[in-house]
Amino acid sequence: MFDIFLLSFGSLFSITNPLGTVPIFVGLTSENTTAQQTKTALLTGLNVGVILLISFFAGKYILSFFGISLESLRIAGGMIIVSSGFALLTGKFTKHKGMDKRVKDDAFKRDSISLTPLAMPMIAGPGSISLLISIEQEYVSALSRSMVLLAILATATSICLILSSSRFIVKFLGASGINAVSRLVGFIVIAIGIEYICSAVLNLLANSAL
């Protein structure tokens, strides 16, 4: 069952890509004290965890309400994930997440940026939400679901730690280092998205053949 945890955590961590958010976090909190940055990082991780948990537990109701099949969700989610991966590869991750100049200016005026724009849409976006809805439909046993919940907790904790250490990460890796890691993560994200699309298409073809 530990492989379910590793698969879920690896997928969530890659798609949420907290490392790619580090430069934005540093820019938005540049005038804050270290304590304020830590508080924002903790609140961001908490908000992401809550968003992911709601997505996981409310997934089947969302599918039922809109009459969406699991395969359709996987294809749509896979396309979003692939798009995010290409944005990471091409260095357009910020624009892909809607962080244009107007949004940044609005963020500077906010008292708190932990929920928006950091938690959503920067970290917990449509890709991670659709992934969790799909996972909820795939794993039905209590033990497997507990592994997914543990993966969500680990992802939220990782986000807190990475954002809290953002200044050290920027100094250690630099802009070029973060860009290089983001491109590597982008390749993995594209592979995850294609895998979801392929599995959905194969399931549709298998069902149509019956």
136-145 per-position pLDDT tens digit: 888 888 899 9
- Domain span holding position 57: 2-209
Check pLDDT > 70 for residue 98: no
What is the reported pLDDT for 111? 55
What is the reported pLDDT for 138? 84
First to last CA, the chain: 31
H/E segment holding residue 102: helix 101-109
* Number of domains within the chain: 1
Q: Are 138 and 64 in contact (CB under 8 A)?
A: no
Q: Residue 66 — very low, low, confident or very high, per pLDDT cuts 50/70/90?
A: confident
Q: What pLDDT, in 10s, does the model give residues 9-44? A: 999 998 898 888 888 888 888 788 888 889 999 999
Q: What pLDDT, in 10s, does the model give residues 162-201? A: 999 988 888 888 777 877 888 888 888 899 889 989 988 9
By percentage, how much of the chain surpasses pLDDT 90?
Answer: 27
Query: Which residues does 111 contact at the CB level (< 8 Å), separation at least 6?
Result: none
What is the reported pLDDT for 156? 96
